[in-house]
């Protein structure tokens, strides 16, 4: 009888937790269904999506940080990192509808600000450059998508509706409605139009050492030609 009561209590608490999470995090759950074609089952999203779990822990840690409770915000954040592979500093400011896909390796720094309906893929870092103090992490607008492995470093502004390509390293502001890719991040599209003159053909980048060697070879050929001419003239003059 005691065991049955205990099991019923656990089930009841689990149910209350699920109902509360579905209500409080309805925008994040909606975002998961909208942006992940693999998401089809409500319970699966609630219980197995690391991005959602990380956001739930972050909201709790952030609230505790706001009331200046020591230790616990960082403890919760580190526990969430251990559980999900996603590290969100409790001091970060995050809007509604954040979707972190796959999650592993995502780092969101203390002074990051994230707008509404942002999508982050695995391996994204919103970090500092290591040289700044104070506000040293990026500010992301609304509807931003940051591709897998991309790093946005420093106190830079990423405008609304921006897409950052997978593996890009962005260290400068990106204006709204644009796409930035590469290392360092370059804007390749603005207002839906490609930016002319931006070459992403990394196999054809100029090689300054080879260019210098070519110039030296030309000079040697020229000098050898002059010496040859000199000797020819000398022979004819004899």
Ligand X SMILES: CC(C)(COP(=O)(O)OP(=O)(O)OC[C@H]1O[C@@H](n2cnc3c(N)ncnc32)[C@H](O)[C@@H]1OP(=O)(O)O)[C@@H](O)C(=O)NCCC(=O)NCCS
Task: Catalog residues that contact ligand X under the rule CB under 6 A.
Answer: 102, 121, 147-148, 163, 165-167, 179, 181-182, 188-189, 194, 200
Q: Which is nearer to ligand X, 80 or 187 (CB)?
A: 187
147 neighbors 134 (Cβ within 8 angstroms): no
* Least separation in angstroms between CB 44 and ligand X: 18
What is the number of the residue whose Cβ is closest to ligand X? Answer: 147
Q: Which is nearer to ligand X, 77 or 117 (CB)?
A: 117
* Least separation in angstroms between CB 189 and ligand X: 5
* Least separation in angstroms between CB 117 and ligand X: 16
Q: Which is nearer to ligand X, 32 or 77 (CB)?
A: 32
Secondary structure class of 93 (helix, strand, coil): strand
Shortest CA distance to 108 belongs to which of 46, 61, 162?
61
Q: Which is nearer to ligand X, 136 or 186 (CB)?
A: 186
Letter string b/e over residues 181-217, b meaning 16 or more CB atoms within 10 A of that residue's CB: bbeebbbbbeeeeeeeeeeeeeeeeeeeeeeeeeeee
Q: Which is nearer to ligand X, 95 or 182 (CB)?
A: 182
Distance between first and last Cα of the chain: 125
| Dihedral sign, Cα of residue 205, residue 211, residue 214, residue 218 | positive
* Least separation in angstroms between CB 134 and ligand X: 30
* Least separation in angstroms between CB 106 and ligand X: 12
Q: Where are the alpha helices (DSSP H) in the chain?
A: 2-24, 26-35, 42-48, 50-66, 72-84, 208-237
């Amino acid at each position: 009888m005691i065991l049955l009561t205990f099991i019923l209590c656990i089930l009841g608490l689990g149910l209350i937790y699920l109902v509360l999470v579905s209500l409080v995090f309805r925008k994040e759950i909606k975002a998961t269904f909208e942006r992940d074609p693999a998401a089809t089952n409500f319970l699966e999203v609630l219980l197995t999506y690391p991005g959602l779990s990380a956001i739930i822990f972050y909201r709790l840690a952030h609230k505790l940080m706001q009331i200046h409770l020591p230790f616990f915000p960082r403890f919760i954040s580190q526990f969430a990192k251990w559980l999900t592979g996603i590290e969100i500093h409790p001091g970060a400011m995050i809007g509604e509808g954040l979707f972190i896909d796959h999650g592993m390796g995502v780092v969101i720094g203390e002074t990051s600000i994230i707008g509404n309906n942002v999508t982050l893929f695995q391996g994204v870092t919103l970090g500092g450059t290591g040289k700044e103090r104070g506000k040293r992490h990026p500010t992301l607008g609304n509807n931003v998508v940051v591709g897998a492995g991309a790093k946005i470093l420093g106190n830079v502004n990423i405008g609304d509706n921006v897409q950052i390509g997978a593996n890009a390293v962005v260290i400068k502001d990106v204006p709204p409605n644009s796409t930035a890719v590469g290392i360092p991040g370059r804007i390749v599209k603005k207002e839906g139009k490609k930016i002319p003159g931006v070459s992403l053909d990394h196999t054809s980048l100029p090689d300054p050492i080879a260019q210098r060697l070519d110039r030296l070879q030309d000079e040697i050929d020229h000098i050898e030609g002059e010496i040859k001419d000199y000797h020819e003239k000398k022979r004819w003059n004899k």
